[in-house]
Amino acid sequence: MDAIVLLRDDHKTVEKLFKRFETEWFPGVRKATGRSRPSVIGEQLEAEKGKAPRDPLAVPSAASK
């Protein structure tokens, strides 16, 4: 199998996982947290992104492996 076929198959698998995530998991999260909580969490995530290290190995848990 060549790399293009593998990538295409992986892409299809990821698409299926996202669809499943959206239809099965997210409604449960919304039900448990309410409608506005996911937006608040998203805003907090955006605000904290700038503090995250760019290098994955700079994360303490990654360095110990």
Query: What local confidence, expressed as pLDDT, does residue 46 receive?
Result: 93
CA distance 37 to 28: 13
Question: Per the domain annotation, does 36 fall within a domain?
Answer: yes
Amino acid residing at 26? F
Question: Per the domain annotation, does 58 fall within a domain?
Answer: no
Question: Per the domain annotation, does 53 fall within a domain?
Answer: no
Instruction: Report which DSSP code applies to 24.
Output: I
CA distance 35 to 9: 35
Dmax (CA) for the chain in angstroms is 46
Query: What local confidence, expressed as pLDDT, does residue 62 receive?
Result: 62
Q: Which of 15-19, 24-28, 55-59, 61-65 has the lowest mean pLDDT?
A: 61-65
Instruction: Report residue 1's pLDDT band, with 50, 70 and 90 as the boundaries.
Output: low
Q: What is the pLDDT of residues 12-54, one digit of tens each?
A: 999 999 888 888 887 888 888 888 888 888 899 999 998 888 8
Domain total for the chain?
1
